[in-house]
Amino acid sequence: MMTFDKSLKKIVKATLVGAAVAALASPVSAETTLRGASMFDGEHTFTKTLVKFGELTSKYYNGDVTFNLSLNGELGVEKDYVTYLNQGIAIDYTILAPSNMARFAPSIPLMDMPFLFRDLDHWNAVLSSNILAPLEKELSDKADIIIVGYAGGGTRNLISNKKISNLQELSGHKMRVMGAPIQAQVFNAIGAAPSAISYNEVYNAIQAGVIDGLENEAASIQNLKFYEVAPFVTKTAHTITVRPIVFSGKSFRKLPADLQTAIMKAGKEAGSYGRELESHEDAIKLKQMADAGQINVSEFANREKLLTMVKPAQDKFAESISATKLLEAIRNK
C-alpha cells in the first residue's frame, strides 16, 4: 500500500511538471477585444480614422486583438463617450471634440478655441509638435483619458436658416455652440447669441425655431443633413478642428505593455492620416453640397475684424486656466 501511494505521488508530480513545461513551451494566446464608437457612418472621416487606428494597432502588435467599432451614434453622443471613457465602461477608444471633455478637464477646450489657428499650416505645425503636452497631462490626470493621436482638420463655419454675411446680420443670431464656456464667450464677443444644446437635439431645435443655426464642419453638415433646416453656410473659418483620438486610462492600464506601445504608435499615425483626410475632404464636401443645391455658401465681410474682437475673450480664458504662456506659444508657432 505504501509503495502504491509513493508511485501515485510520483505519477501525479511528473504529470504536473510535464503540463507546466508544455504550457511554457506553447503559451495560450488570449485575444483582446477593444471597443470603439463613432457618432457617424462608415464614410465619415472620424470613422475612417478609427478604422485606420485599429488596422495600425493590429499591425504593430504581435498578439491577437479585435476591434469592435459601433457606428451611427449607437452608443450615444460624445458627452456619453466621455463618461464611458472616464469610468472605463462600454467603450475603450473614440474621437472627441475637446470642448466635450471640459467638465473633467477645464483647460482642454483651449484646443477648440475659435480663431485659435491662423491657417492649416499653423494648425498642422502645432499638432505635430509637443506644445499641447500640458493639456494632455491635465486630461490624463483629471479625466483618466489618454490622448493617443490628433485627428481633425475640418474648417468650421456658421450654418444658419438665414443668410449671415456681416456683423450686423450676425448680431443677436441664436446659435448652438458646444458646452465649454469659451465657445459661448467667443461668440458673444462677436455679437451672436450662443447657447449650449445637446448635439442630437440641434436639428429639431432649428426646425422648432429655438435656435437659428450652429457652427460645424462640412462632413457633419453632410452626414447629419443639417442643410435641410439650415442651408446657409457663412465662411467664417473660425475653427480648424482638433479632434483627439482618445483611450480610456482604466482600459489602457489593463493591457499588455507591448499592446500599449502599439496603441500609442498607431494613434499618432492614425491622427496624421485623419488630419490629411479631413482637411482634403472638407472643401470637396462643401462643393458637393453647393453643387447639389443643398447649401448656399457666402463669405463673411471683414472677417479680420472678428480676429481682433475675440482676442480679449481668448486672453481672459487663457488667464483663467493659467494657460497664458501656452496660448502665446500656440500663437507664436
pTM above 0.75, yes or no: yes
Would residue 328 count as lying in a domain? yes
Instruction: For residues 217 and 237, give the distance between their C-alpha atoms in angstroms, rounded to a whole number.
Output: 9
161 neighbors 230 (Cβ within 8 angstroms): yes
Would residue 39 count as lying in a domain? yes
Would residue 239 count as lying in a domain? yes
Would residue 86 count as lying in a domain? yes
Mean pLDDT of 327-332: 95
pLDDT in tens, 146-173: 999 999 998 999 999 999 999 999 999 9
- Alpha carbon distances (Å) from 231 to 86, 170, 222, 303, 325: 37, 16, 11, 21, 40
Would residue 1 count as lying in a domain? no
Mean pLDDT of 14-21: 39
pLDDT value of position 312: 97
Task: Say how many domains are in the chain.
Answer: 1
pLDDT value of position 10: 38
Would residue 217 count as lying in a domain? yes
Strands, E assignment, the chain: 32-37, 65-70, 93-95, 145-160, 174-177, 193-196, 213-216, 232-248, 296-299
Contacts of 95-98 with CB under 8 Å at 24 or more apart are 95/38, 95/46, 95/49, 95/50, 95/151, 95/243, 95/244, 95/245, 95/246, 95/274, 96/243, 96/244, 96/246, 97/178, 97/241, 97/243, 98/135, 98/180, 98/242, 98/244
Would residue 7 count as lying in a domain? no
pLDDT in tens, 116-137: 998 888 998 999 899 999 999 9
Give 97-132 as a DSSP string.
Answer: -GGGGTTT-TTGGGGG-TT--SSHHHHHHHHTSSTT
What CATH number is given to the structural domain containing 321? 3.40.190.170
pLDDT value of position 105: 92
- In Å, how far from its chain's centre is CA 87? 18
Q: Tell me the residue length of the chain.
A: 333
Host domain of residue 239: 31-332
Would residue 16 count as lying in a domain? no
Range of lowest pLDDT (29-33, 215-219, 231-235): 29-33
